[in-house]
Structure 1
Amino acid sequence: MARGWSPRSLRLLPLPLRAMAARPGPAAGEPRGRCAALVEPALVLGTLALGLQAPLCTQYLWERLGARLGYNGSEAGGAAGCGNASGAGDPRRQEVEASVSHWNLYINLGGFFVGLFSVTLLGPWSDRVGRRPALILPAVGMALQAAVYLLVMYLRLHVGYFLLGRILCGLLGDYNLILASSFAYVADVSDLQTRTFRVAVLEACLGVAGMLASIIGGQWRRAQGYIDPFWLVFAASLAAALYAALCLQDSVREKQPARLFTLRHYAAVYRLYAAPGHQGSRQKLALYSLVFFLVVTVHFGARELFVLYELSSPLCWSSALIGYGSAVAYLTYLSSLAGLRVLQLCLKDAWVAVLGLLSNISGLLVISLASTTPLMFTGYGALFLSMAATPVIRAKLSKLVDEKDQGALFASVACLEGLCSLVATGVFNSLYPASLPFMRGFPFLFGAVVLLVPAAVIGWLEIADSSPDYGHFTNAA
């Protein structure tokens, strides 16, 4: 109950004012100067740091490992003779591609194994102590990772030290914890009617930050090398931590002191799926979690291979073209937001998600066959609605649990997202070098086939919800 309003007084107010008056005030002890419900800047800064770092790291590995293996390529992966037939079959270039792919696998495996456990610890902890600590810690971890990478570049250390930076970041929650805390924050401050679009707005922020990072990173790396752009990664990570610490008002109203290192936080995630409850809701929670796993795994796996795919023959893109390609790929967040908003006027959220998956499938099919730059950009264009599925799935998961369990839910989603990255790294980075002899774009074709499964599951759940013969699905998301 809002302070100063009695139940009778609230009933006399018009409905919009009644909702505003019933909204709880700031939590006790919370500084009043903080901005309310604006978690987006922290997410944008974290995504900017990640968007700059990921392609630059892959290109740096290409250059360092290529030099060690005696492969003479032009800038950032454009190999000598890359555009001709003999270059396409150069065994040394294929050895560099396989080596870069494997090092990406090792680095990400180390980080995600650690992050998988830290996210599920820190996420439920934020339900009690607030969201801000769960935003500050991973941002500091990303800054530490950037500092280690800078040391590797300045001192020309072995690229294996990248793994050390990745593990340090994973210990503090990694970027996945920033995502989980941001979505939990939005769930705290939104209602059921607006949550899907509010989640989509948050994901659109990912696209804006990623697009800026791609354009800046490609041009900056071409002009000044790797070191200067990585200083921006370090600065953006620190800025995200400072914003969460100094400017953001917490969305958890009733904060309580809680120990960090306790198994109760893991138990909170476990109870979401195993505790007794409505059977239909638990089934749907499991099915939508499976759908989320498949969609995000394909998304992570395909995006991780885009840079390596573009560096290789027959595309042989420069770092500037790679930056433009990544920017176009990130534009799908904005086009998906616009498409979601328009399609919600005439379709249910579930069917919008199915259309988004069909867009994703068509784009991956084109990219798998891309042998020229125009065809590659055509594939990116076909992905225009591909990011409409994930906000719908996140919102449906959020609506399946009580409001007080949002932190535990998004901790489990963060855990699942970490597992998605782990599986995507293992499957796609292993599949790419194995498929080089017969079809360079086979991993994208594989991803398109996998996405048929979540499209079918979402469609079936929506039909089951609308049919009176499926009464056990009454708690529709």
Structure 2
Amino acid sequence: MFLGCSERGLPEAERVQAGAVILATVALGLQGPLATQYLWDRLGADLGYSGHNGTGTSGCANGTGTNGSTDALRQEVEALVSHWNLYINLGGFFVGLFSVTLFGPWSDSVGRRPVLVLPAVGMAMQAAIYLLVMYLRLHVGYFLLGRVLSGLTGDYNLILASCFAYAADTSDTRARTFRVAVLEACLGVAGMLASIGGGQWRKAQGYINPFWLVFAASLAAALYAVFCLQESVKERKPAKLFTLSHYMAVYRLYTTPERRSSRQKLALYSTAFFLIVTVHFGTRDLYVLYELGSPLCWASDLIGYGSAASYLAYLSSLAGLRALQLCLEDTWVAEMGLISNISGLIVISVATTTPLMFTGYGMLFLSMAATPVIRAKLSKLVNETEQGALFASVACVEGLCSLVAAGVFNSLYPASLHFMRGFPFLFGALILLIPAAIIGLIEVWGSKLEYRHFSHSSVSLANS
């Protein structure tokens, strides 16, 4: 069966990585750039701007001359699309904050499979509503309705939370960082394929046919979870869904008094993770708009290649992490990943030509190495019966990241168009200095504690 349902194939956790995650990410990787381009075309047509049309011509074909009114109209379209992206993301992820923290701890009792099926069905419902908008030429505000319905079932963040908890259930602490990195690399492979295919497909046939694949991939992810996965929770037991105890399980992770050191590290690592993922989400939301506008003026095929290049960082980060783990601690691999991320964003912020833009993408080659390290370190701070609650809290943080990223970056972009179009990317690079400092301080702090414990042990032995 598709992606190896047979018991003779890959280990079960590996099949999760190659199955449910890939299918869901194909759906998301197609949907994101295509929805932004559809908003550009629909809203631009409503305002009388035709700089980017269904034939795949450049995003500023009519706005690169000396006509100041056309340039102003293009900027108005950019700002309007940015604001609609903001509304859609705010609605979906605000709802998702509550649903993910409900379903995640619930999976510690009833198992991971039900919590993989629900969000995949929700993503299929969202794709169906998007198709209705395109077929019937409904108001683009219905995109928000689809996003909220998907958020109610946990959305893509719940799929990630369940899969990362699944990987933690089926791996030991030594191999967990790499296993998590493999899972994130699957996101990159699926996203890269979806981006390349989506750009070319939209250029050839428009929006509707690619969105049928979004719908089909979401349904396939749900069916895969139902029929192809074995349960990873060893001791399942019935549990009520609608109860405050699930929210309390997440709360107790950060408030249990007997684990003071773990609580501090959980809070610090969660803060670092929040800042890193906020920058990832915020900048990725803007790549398409940045590339559509002047002076890059990319068409849909180049936009697809650009999205693929950004997803390629998942694979290059996996290879880099594996190689660097041979000679460095995970913490310093994460620090090198942040350096790669900062340098790439700085180059993109000043990119005025296609080669320079792709140079910026290339410098992001290790940018995704920090997040699997942090996920693995968080997972090691709790016991095996709390993995669902932990990764629900991480997904909650990711939902908050999307909320903040949508609010900050989608508002900052139109506000900075008149003085520096790439300013949000430069802003993101500066923000990443904070998690770099946090991760380094935790490592230095931990090393000092170990050294102090070793010194005390040595003195005790000498005295005895």
Same fold (TM over 0.5): yes
Residues 33-432 of structure 1 correspond to what in structure 2 (within 5 A)?
36-37=12-13, 38-40=15-17, 41-75=19-53, 78-84=59-65, 86=67, 90-432=71-413
- Compute the displacement of 1:281 (Å): 1.3
Q: Give per-residue Cα distances to partners, 1:256-283, cap 9 Å, x unaligned.
A: 0011100000000000001222221111
Distance in 2, matches of 1:231 and 1:471, equals 60
* CA–CA separation in structure 2 for the residues paired with 1:32 and 1:358: 42
- Amino acid across the alignment from 2:51: G
> Runs ≥4 in structure 1, deviation > 6 angstroms?
31-35
Give the residue type in structure 2 aligned to 1:67: A
Residue 24 of structure 1 aligns with which residue? none
CA distance in 1: counterparts of 2:7 and 2:355, whole angstroms: 53
> C-alpha separation between the residues in 1 aligned to 2:227 and 2:376?
29
Give the % identical residues. 76
Corresponding residue for 1:465? 446
Inter-CA distance 196–448: structure 2 relative to 1 (3 Å threshold): same
Cα distance in 2, alignment partners of residues 468 and 272 from structure 1:
23
Secondary structure of 1:274's aligned partner: coil
Q: Quote the Cα distance in structure 2 between the aligned partners of 1:174 and 1:422.
A: 14
Question: What letter corresponds to residue 253 of structure 1 in structure 2?
Answer: K
Q: Residue 461 of structure 1: CA displacement?
A: 1.1
Name the SS for the 1:253 alignment partner: coil
**TM-score when scaled to structure 1?**
0.90
Structure 1 residue 417: deviation in Å? Answer: 0.6
* Distance change in 2, residues 1:61/1:281 (3 Å): same
Q: Which runs of 5+ in 1 are unaligned?
A: 1-30
Distance 1:435 1:338, change over 3 A: same
Counterpart AA for 1:65: L
Amino acid at match of 2:16: V
Alpha-carbon offset, residue 97 of structure 1: 0.4
* CA pair 85-290 structure 1, distance change in 2 beyond 3 A: farther
Question: C-alpha displacement at 1:439, in angstroms?
Answer: 0.5
Gaps of 5+ in 2: 1-5, 455-464
Paired amino acid for 2:237: Q
Paired letter, 2:286 = L
1:468, distance to aligned residue in structure 2 (A): 4.2
Per the alignment, do residues 223 and 257 of structure 1 end up closer, same or farther by CA in structure 2, a change over 3 Å counting?
same
3-state SS, counterpart of residue 95 of structure 1: helix
CA distance in 1, matches of 2:192, 2:220: 19
Amino acid paired to 1:264:
S
Q: How many angstroms does 1:79 deviate by?
A: 2.4
Q: Deviations over 1:229-261 (max 9, x none)?
A: 000000000000000000100100100001110
- Normalised by the length of structure 2, the TM-score is 0.93
1:80 positional shift: 3.0
In structure 2, what is the equivalent of residue 436 of structure 1? 417
Separation in structure 1 between the aligned mates of residue 8 and residue 352 of structure 2, nearest angstrom = 55
Distance in 2 (CA, whole Å) between partners of 1:235 and 1:67 is: 29
- In 2, are the aligned partners of 1:115 and 1:170 still within 8 Å (CA)? yes
Q: Per-residue displacement from partner, 1:410-464 (whole Å, max 9, x unpaired)? A: 0100111100011000000000000001000000000000000101111111111
1:358 Cα deviation after fit: 0.3
Partners of 1:102 and 1:345 in 2: how far apart? 45
Structure-2 residue corresponding to 1:23: none
Which secondary structure state, in structure 2, belongs to the residue aligned with residue 386 of structure 1?
A: coil
For residue 48 of structure 2, what is the amino acid of its counterpart?
A: G
C-alpha distance in structure 2 between counterparts of 1:472 and 1:306, whole Å: 48
